Structure 1
Amino acid sequence: MQKVPVNSGFPMIRGAVMGPVVRALDAAGADCDALLAEFGMSRRLLSNPYEILPLVRYVAAFERAAQVLDEPSLGLRLGSELQLTELGPAGLVFMSSPTLGVAMRKFSAALGSWQSAAAVEVVRDDEWPVWSYRITHPQTGPRRQDAEYSVSAMCNMIRLVRGPSWTPVEVHFEHAAPADLKPYMRIFRVPVRFQQPANGVILRPHDLDASLKSADLQMARMMERHATDLILRDTVPHNLVEQVRDLVTRRLAREKLVVADIAKDLGMSHRSLQRHLTDAGTSVRQIIREERQRSVAELRQQEGLTNAAVARAVGYADATVLWRASRNWDRDDA
């Protein structure tokens, strides 16, 4: 069988990242629920900050929110308002580290528990250290809002631990320069360069050695361990069939399972996904059926669950639909 080059599992990000976007929409009186539904999300889904979302949906929802609010610099603003606790263990690792250099390096490593398909690093390039951020999944775009949010958030994080007067040397972005540069000058207060190889924050050498008053080595070790546990627990399978199975399992009760949506979240075309699954001797339909059967068998072992509750948990409208499906499974397996 031909090997499928899929980026170490479907690109993911934690549901907590949508919190600032949801608050911005609500504050403006926009129809937040409709926007979430457009991208397969809901408030109920996002109530769990650790919920895994496809990265492509988050990026697209962020771009759409900027359009709905008619605020091209939405990402810049939300990044400048971010609280460290909203970044989960990665944010707490940053806050608890002894120096800014350690904080940025450990934060970049811990970010793997919050988001995949991202190249994040601190590099000492000759004289000027650089913190860089770039989504590595080629099908994820346009992504101006995410890039500006990430860079603005990093500058904001540094100001939270170094003081509001801190400024970088320069700020870089991958995308082209927009018409209005005033928001960039207001937030960064330094030169901003566009169409660069990566999004980044250029610092002074002595910045990395600065001690943090919020340092707490015990907290830092604890949060590093928590981030490592999250990465290990939620490692996404590399095998394409297992990736599809993982996506189906996560969405079974929440949304209508559409092949085109699953293919998009994996960064593939509908036709390509179907072809590779056929080569592997399966299909999206078969995987959905197998996961429903497995889930139903597990749920029926729990005491107190009605047939209606089991049906809803696997994406069926009611117990009657589940009963009909079960009859078809028994007949096909006979």
Structure 2
Amino acid sequence: MSLNIPHPLAMTDAPSNLGVLSAAASGLDRFIGLQGGDAERVFGVAGIDPDLLLHPTLSLSLSNYCKVLEEAASQSGCDNFGLRYGQQFQPRALGLLGYVGLCSDTLEQALRNFALAFPYHQHDTLIRLVDIGECYRFDYQVRHPAILDKRQDAELTMGMALNLVRHVLGPTWAPRAVLFEHGKPEGWREHQAVFDAPILFDQPCNALLIPKRDIVGRLMPERDPVLLMLVQDAIARLGGQQHQQCLVDQARGLVRDALPLGEPGLEQIAAGLGLSGAGLQRRLREQNLSYSALIDQVRRELALHYLRRRLPITELAPLLGYSETSAFSRAFRRWFDTSPRQWLQAPTA
């Protein structure tokens, strides 16, 4: 049986994965179209080169990946976009990571191997299988400091994990419960229908509760220990043993954390990165970015994040480092050519 897996020795010189392997976006352009969206526009807004999606072992920025899912949900009008995308996402579509699970000996080992390999597939992410007695808890959480909106990614990933288990136990298998970090959406009943289980929102971490009796000793139908070893080696080589977060994203995280205390100065953020002010400016210029533009970008992203969660407009100015609401309102109008109140009243808000 040929699974068309590249030999790991051919990947020695492959670039390190600094985000998420593009296999995680397999078929995304087609699915956006099926949900009534414009894939070209969505990719453009999210800053993703569609050509990368043709090569499953190339790397996408994790922040851009999460953004493309959120933008697809917004632009298509499908609030449960990630849930539906995950529902149809079968293990093979994940490329190397999918085969790590499929080639394992048992379903229990498949989940363990999947969790162990995942950091090479996607960085800045917590993923683990936790023994909590009668169940295993399969945890997932993006921990990238610059990513605020990640609901669609969470629902997609829980769907991927669900399909790995159902690949062995059948389409009617259901977890004991499903946990999500984000708040309860309007279309939450669809979540119950997809998982056929209680859904808990506003939880500390995204997770599936999987009864041990369902998976212990259950053999994987395509288990292959030799191929598993090759695939594990290949994905480790792609991911790289060490990962340093993009400096710009580190700076964004520091700015975001500092804003509630007022607009942070260049030297303050540079010191947090172990750089001089001039050094940080030079590194930003390499990315065609100035420090003031970085501050502006973070404020803009946070403003939308807070408004989508319906925080009172009067509370936003201090959270964004503005001393007065009027200053925030002027900035918002410059960003979006509308006021915060008008933006909230728009149908797509």
Given the two structures, how large is their TM-score scaled by the length of structure 2?
A: 0.67
* 2:72 is equivalent to residue 72 of structure 1: no
Structure 1 residue 67, shift from structure 2 partner: 1.0
| 1:66 to partner: Cα distance | 0.5
List runs of 5+ in structure 2 lacking aligned partners.
1-15, 256-263, 289-349
Q: What SS does the corresponding residue of 2:126 show, helix, strand or coil?
A: strand
C-alpha distance in structure 2 between counterparts of 1:179 and 1:38, whole Å: 25
SS, match of residue 34 in structure 1: helix
- 1:121 aligned onto 2:120: no
Which whole-Å CA distance do the structure 2 matches of 1:110 and 1:160 have between them?
Answer: 19
Structure 1's 218 and 28: CA in aligned 2 closer, same or farther, altered over 3 A? Answer: same
Q: Is the 8 A contact 2:17 2:240 kept in 1?
A: no
Give 1:231's aligned amino acid.
Answer: G
Equivalent residue for 1:230, pick from 218, 238, 256: 238
Q: Which residue does 2:211 correspond to in 1?
A: 204
Q: What SS does the corresponding residue of 1:61 show, helix, strand or coil?
A: helix
The alpha-carbon distance between structure 1 residues 52 and 176, as it changes in their structure 2 partners (threshold 3 A), is same
Partner of 1:175: 182
Shift of 1:150: 0.6
Does residue 137 of the first structure (1) align with residue 144 of the second (2)?
yes
Distance 1:151 1:285 in 2: 36
Residue 161 (structure 1) shift: 2.0
Give the C-alpha shift of residue 10 in structure 1: 10
Work out whether residues 11 and 137 of structure 1, in 8 Å CA contact, stay in contact via their aligned partners in 2: no
Change (3 A) 1:273 1:60: farther
How many Å apart are 1:280 and its aligned residue?
A: 7.2
Q: Which residue type is aligned with residue 284 of structure 1?
A: R
Deviation, structure 1 residue 264:
7.6
Distance in 2, matches of 1:50 and 1:120, equals 20
Q: 1:284 to 1:64 in 2, by over 3 A?
A: same
Q: SS state of the match for residue 203, structure 1?
A: strand
How many residues align? The count is: 259
Change (3 A) 1:123 1:97: same
Q: Is the 8 A contact 2:91 2:160 kept in 1?
A: no
1:267 maps to which of 253, 257, 261: 253
Q: Deviations over 1:58-97 (max 9, x none)?
A: 1112111001111111111111111212222221010111
Structure 1 contact 134–147 (Cα < 8 Å) conserved: yes
Unaligned 5+ runs, structure 1: 1-8, 245-261, 290-334
RMSD over aligned Cα atoms: 2.7
Structure 1: distance between partners of 2:100 and 2:284: 42
CA contact (8 A) 1:11 1:117 kept: no
Structure-2 change in CA distance of 1:10 and 1:92 (3 Å): closer
Q: Percent identity?
A: 25
Q: What letter is aligned with 1:90? A: L
The reply to whether residue 48 of structure 1 matches residue 55 of structure 2 is yes
Residue 215 of structure 2 aligns to a residue whose secondary structure is: helix
Could you tell me whether the CA contact under 8 Å between 1:10 and 1:266 is conserved in 2? Answer: no
| Contact 2:17/2:59, CA 8 A, preserved across alignment | no
Give the structure 2 partner of residue 16 of structure 1: 23
- Paired with 1:58 and 1:273, the residues of 2 have a C-alpha distance of 26
Q: Which residue of 32, 36, 41 maps to 1:34?
A: 41
| Aligned residue in 2 for 1:220 | 228
Contact 1:60 1:141 in 2 (8 A): no
Residue pair 2:140, 2:205 contacting (<8 A) in 1 also: yes
